[in-house]
Amino acid sequence: MPGARVLYLLCGLAFSGKSTLAAALRQRLGCAVVSLDEINQGRGLDGGDGVAAEEWARSHAVALGEVAALMRAGRRPIVVDDTNCYRFLRDDHRAVAERHGYAVRLLVLDVPVEEIRRRMQRAATDGSRRGLRPEVFEAHRESFEWPGDDEAPEPLAAGDLDRWLEAAAAAMGEG
C-alpha cells in the first residue's frame, strides 16, 4: 500500500473542520479514515444532544479496535476523525500506534470560536449538517484539553490546509 506508517490524529472543537480535513487526507494521501461520528451514528447515538461518557468510552474502544485492525492489515496511512478532546484519548491512540510501529502526527485545527459558532448557525439554518445544542457545545468547549507542547501538536489554521496537504504529499513522495 502507498504511504507511510503514520497515524494522523485530528484534534479540535466540534465544527472546526476535522471531517473536511479527514476527507482531504483520504483523497490526497490515501488515508483510511476512522470516524467517531460514524461509529456513534452506527451505534444509534445522536451527538447533537450530547452523548453520555460511558457511551463515548464504548465508541472510543470501537475506534481503537478499528485503528488496530487497519494497522495489523498493513493499511497506511490512517486518520482518526474525532475531537480527541482529552489527553487520555490521544494517549490511547499513541499506544496503539506504538505497538504497531506507526508514527503519530497530531493535527490541531485552530479555528476561532466565533467562526465555529457561525458554522453551527449556518448548519442549523441550511440543514447541511446535524448541529449541536448550544449548551452541549459550551460544555465541550469548556472541558476541552488542548495538547501541550510535549505532544508535538501541529496547529493548522484554515488558510494553511492546502499548503500543509501539498507538503505532506510531497514528503510521502506523491506530490
pTM of the model: 0.89
Residue 147 maps to a domain: yes
Residues 137-146 have a mean pLDDT of 93
The total number of structural domains in the chain stands at 1
Residue 19, domain CATH: 3.40.50.300
Between β-strands 103-109 and 6-11, what pairing exists: parallel, antiparallel or unpaired?
parallel
Provide the grid cell at 63. Answer: 475506534
Q: Using CA atoms, how far apart are residues 79 and 11, in angstroms rounded to an integer?
A: 11
Residues 39-59 have a mean pLDDT of 83
Q: Using CA atoms, how far apart are residues 26 and 13, in angstroms rounded to an integer?
A: 21
What is residue 168's predicted lDDT score, i.e. its pLDDT? 79
Q: How many CA atoms lie within 13 A of 161 on its CB side?
A: 19
Residue 12 lies in domain: 6-169
Residue 1 maps to a domain: no
Confidence of residue 157 (pLDDT cuts 50, 70, 90): confident
What is residue 75's predicted lDDT score, i.e. its pLDDT? 85
